[in-house]
Structure 1
């Protein structure tokens, strides 16, 4: 196991910041996480925030940085553009955008785009997780990537052939806190993946998606008429939205799906997919994105001539 720093890998999203100091063999030497996502730091300056974390870790100036996520969006640090699908994930590194005039070598990876006038779609950050997931799970052809905006991805080898985004996480947050259901759900709180109300909600959303808006209001009615508690209601709301997502994604019992997730979302989606008869292969999201970032840096350095790094 190497202990010599060689690369800083960063996943910089809309609401979160994750940084890993890596050795040449992929060992994590140090880690920083914060809520300094794109929306938080745009006014303060991306380089200032990044360097504050690197300074805390005493990272030398000659250690390069590879970034994926919303830092490369139009509202981010430097726009990194999109690669149209079908897209070979192994080329995202060689299509990275270099941050000019930065104090150190910094590259930002591009996202992926579906250029379909009737159903356009984009992803930014997940493509790097997908590269790592593909390396962790060779031969997988369907992946679920839950989050604020969940992604369902079809692949052929290392090539992304299609994907769809579902606003499940954002809808859950908005409906539970900004609609009449705030009185029924309490607005905030976790969901138990083993709660029968969650699993029943998953089945109802999956098998009867056309009734979802009715089922949502029935949560309120159930509280008024049968004193259903906030934990139960929150679980049912989560299950309904995830099940409706599954219906839209065409989930079928008996199929095999790679679940790229961690923490509470991993537990919820694993339980929900299993409830629908899916065979789930769990891939830790942090492991996947780190591996994707390292692999992308290697491809960038091989094509740019910067071969002294990993």
Structure 2
């Protein structure tokens, strides 16, 4: 006998779309992925795109959906707002915003905000991944979530006490593709986490972040003067930027870090953090966001159920 679906769980980013049909116990029964992120769906509409994926999976019309990510931004489907820190990450589901005017019950999870005037910061989508990571590693005080915009989060139990965003991934793409260094790195290409050039770059960026812009130009000079190979330069560029991020995040040798990542980013950050002496707990990013979505749905549905009974 097949297990019935309980909820549609969606991580809807700027450039990507990930959907899972989950059982009541959180088991993945089906999934769909595409590049139909927020920037791609404005013309067709969020509901049209979502229902198209669900029709492909033959999902029943009465199946509710819980969504995190940019669908809840100001330019998204429905603005879901932000919870100010300090915030209890287990409460994001209770504060989800229901999408009006649609037949299916759909709720969008809010982001988190640091409203400091000196260093304001926001996250949207990562808070759900963080909830899943917290459930996986409840005793953690520091979590690293690499990406185009990497997040470093400090927690006291379930309370998010602070976080910082580093534009490391976006900077790598911009520098590698659109500056003079593109002639030295060869543009797009793989980076090996065990490449000595990558690890040397990590150490230099971490130990001497104030010299990062000089080290970047040295990639160009090294190619001109010593014919340094493009793949080596690309690896060093990646290492320098990640190492500088780790310096900014205040990483110290011996510190425990929950690394929430998958694929190449997991390998690169694991190698970089290990090079700087951190003690790591690897947490799969896909698992974390699914677990966070499921937990947020349980919290949301319990809260709305209480409201309906009141």
The two structures share one fold, judged by TM-score above 0.5: yes
Q: Residues of 1 paired with 2:306 and 2:85: CA distance?
A: 28
Q: Residues of 2 paired with 1:299 and 1:26: CA distance?
A: 14
Q: Residues of 1 paired with 2:306 and 2:66: CA distance?
A: 13
Q: Residues of 1 paired with 2:3 and 2:219: CA distance?
A: 53
Aligned to 1:304: 304
Aligned to 1:74: 74
Q: Residues of 2 paired with 1:251 and 1:153: CA distance?
A: 12
Cα deviation for residue 132 of structure 1 reads 0.5
CA contact under 8 A between 1:2 and 1:24: conserved in structure 2? Answer: no
SS in 2 for 1:5: coil
TM-score by length of 2: 0.97
Q: Residues of 2 paired with 1:190 and 1:160: CA distance?
A: 34
Cα deviation for residue 190 of structure 1 reads 1.6
> Are positions 1:29 and 2:29 aligned together?
yes
Q: CA RMSD in A?
A: 1.2
CA contact under 8 A between 1:153 and 1:164: conserved in structure 2? Answer: yes
Aligned to 1:234: 234
Q: Residues of 1 paired with 2:44 and 2:282: CA distance?
A: 37
SS in 2 for 1:94: helix
> Are positions 1:248 and 2:242 aligned together?
no
TM-score by length of 1: 0.97
Q: Residues of 2 paired with 1:225 and 1:212: CA distance?
A: 20
- Structure 1 spans left out of the alignment, 5+ residues: none
Aligned to 1:44: 44
Of stretches 220-229 and 53-62 in structure 1, the one that deviates more from structure 2 is 220-229
SS in 1 for 2:204: helix
> Are positions 1:5 and 2:19 aligned together?
no
SS in 1 for 2:235: helix
Moved over 3 A (4+): none
Q: Residues of 2 paired with 1:306 and 1:221: CA distance?
A: 65
Q: Residues of 2 paired with 1:202 and 1:85: CA distance?
A: 31
SS in 2 for 1:242: helix
Of stretches 222-231 and 279-288 in structure 1, the one that deviates more from structure 2 is 222-231
Cα deviation for residue 103 of structure 1 reads 2.7
The verdict on how the C-alpha distance between 1:150 and 1:2 changes in structure 2, with shifts beyond 3 A counting, is farther
Q: Residues of 2 paired with 1:44 and 1:236: CA distance?
A: 42
Aligned to 1:222: 222
Aligned to 1:111: 111
> Are positions 1:276 and 2:266 aligned together?
no
SS in 2 for 1:160: strand
SS in 1 for 2:44: coil
1:174-231 C-alpha deviation (Å, 9 max, x unpaired): 0000111111112211210000000000000000000000100111111111111111
Aligned to 2:16: 16
> Are positions 1:291 and 2:291 aligned together?
yes
CA contact under 8 A between 1:2 and 1:25: conserved in structure 2? Answer: no
Q: Residues of 2 paired with 1:222 and 1:75: CA distance?
A: 44
1:104-126 C-alpha deviation (Å, 9 max, x unpaired): 11000000000000100000011
Cα deviation for residue 55 of structure 1 reads 0.6
Aligned to 2:145: 145
Aligned to 2:125: 125
The verdict on how the C-alpha distance between 1:291 and 1:35 changes in structure 2, with shifts beyond 3 A counting, is same
